[in-house]
Amino acid sequence: MSSPLKDRDILVLGIESSCDETSAAVTCNTTILSNVIANQKVHQEYGGVVPELASRAHLQNIVPVTHAALSKAGVGLHQLHALAYTRGPGLAGALMVGSAFARSLSLALGIPVIEINHLQAHILAHFIRQPGKETTTPRFPFLCLTVSGGHTQLIRVNDKLQFNLMGSTIDDAAGEAFDKCASMLGLGYPGGPLIDKYAATGNAHRFIFPRARTAGLNFSYSGLKTSVLYFLRDAKKKNENFIHENLNDLCASVQQSIIHPLIEKLERASAETGITEIAIAGGVSANSGLRKALQITAQQRGWNVFLPDLEFCTDNAAMIAVNGYFKYLHSQFGEIGNPPLARWRI
């Protein structure tokens, strides 16, 4: 480590294994010293995450990834103050690996184990500091739109560990909509980044797909998925090369249909609460169309927007470790016998 540790510095090892990324990170207070992520390529040929294969890959990855995170940080196991791990929500078998690993290690080292809610951690990614880099963090209360493969949520963040759920999807998550539409377009998995890539040079107004009208601050994407499915089926009957010939415009139009309700509900939530500090989090917050749309809206509405660095949009253990640090400060420690939670509300 470049700077010597001070007495009150807290070193946390974070472990993330809720889906298809095995990650370990070491933080000193809110500063990351390392953040190692092993992506699982094994799912690509199946077009989606295969839970059992994810668990097996986590088993193979977790020790080397943790070793790499510690050695990159220059921190020994016995210097750690606490171990933070994703207790849920996520795939049961995948969570089991990280949870068993973290709980055993904390027992062996005699240090506290801290249970982290993955969705809270995505939001707290905004508080990660990187050595030598200036970071501006949102002021409380702020609104956060969490858009990932499994969740789409609008949250009022009152403090670092205080969250109010204001709205969420009633069916598919935004990331799921990206991935399912990508699969219909014959693109690989995960499809979100591929749609993002092709959309960059496409015309978003070329194809109009219906947008769900959901009550309040909720979202719905199942109608979009069905309409893209039938639209492509009919278009391919007339021209079997339809997708190939129109890929960029199709991607841009699908992306626009996913993003539009996100911005719309954020505007509504901001108007209702009077809060103009706005953040996004989760894998879909890496989407360039969403980031651009948010910046444009911010200029129009006078919002202060916070976009996570791309490294911290998708699943990573740095956000788990930083969340762990905040819980450590409040002595919010877990129980060694607690099982993982596949479902766990924010």
When the beta carbons of 112 and 283 are compared against Zn ion, the nearer one is 283
The yes or no reply on residue 256 touching Zn ion (CB under 5 A) is: no
Q: Indicate the DSSP class of residue 129.
A: B
- Measured over the CA atoms of residue 101, residue 5, residue 307 and residue 332, the dihedral's sign is positive
Give the rounded distance of the alpha carbon of 213 from its chain centre: 25
Q: What angle do CA 99, 122, 119 make, to 5 degrees?
A: 60
Among 101, 163, 178, 325, binds ligand KG4 (CB under 6 A): 178
The yes or no reply on residue 115 touching ligand KG4 (CB under 6 A) is: no
Binding mask 193-212 for ligand KG4 (x = CB under 6 A): x--x----------------
The yes or no reply on residue 287 touching ligand KG4 (CB under 6 A) is: yes
When the beta carbons of 178 and 209 are compared against ligand KG4, the nearer one is 178
Cα dihedral angle (67, 69, 70, 71), rounded to 10 degrees? Answer: 80
Among 14, 150, 308, 334, binds ligand KG4 (CB under 6 A): 150
The yes or no reply on residue 308 touching ligand KG4 (CB under 6 A) is: no
Among 17, 30, 148, 253, binds ligand KG4 (CB under 6 A): 148
Instruction: Give the other-Cβ count within 10 Å of 103's Cβ.
Output: 23
Which does residue 193 touch among ligand KG4, Zn ion, none (CB within 5 to 8 A, set by kind)? Answer: ligand KG4
Residues in Cβ contact with 326 at an 8 Å cutoff, skipping those fewer than 6 apart: 124, 127, 160, 161
Q: Which of residues 261-320 bind Zn ion (CB under 5 A)?
A: 315
The yes or no reply on residue 249 touching Zn ion (CB under 5 A) is: no
- Alpha helices in the chain, H assignment, sequence order: 51-73, 92-109, 118-124, 174-184, 192-199, 222-238, 242-273, 288-301, 318-329
Residues that bind ligand KG4 (CB under 6 A): 19, 148-150, 175, 178-179, 190-193, 196, 282-284, 286-287, 314-315
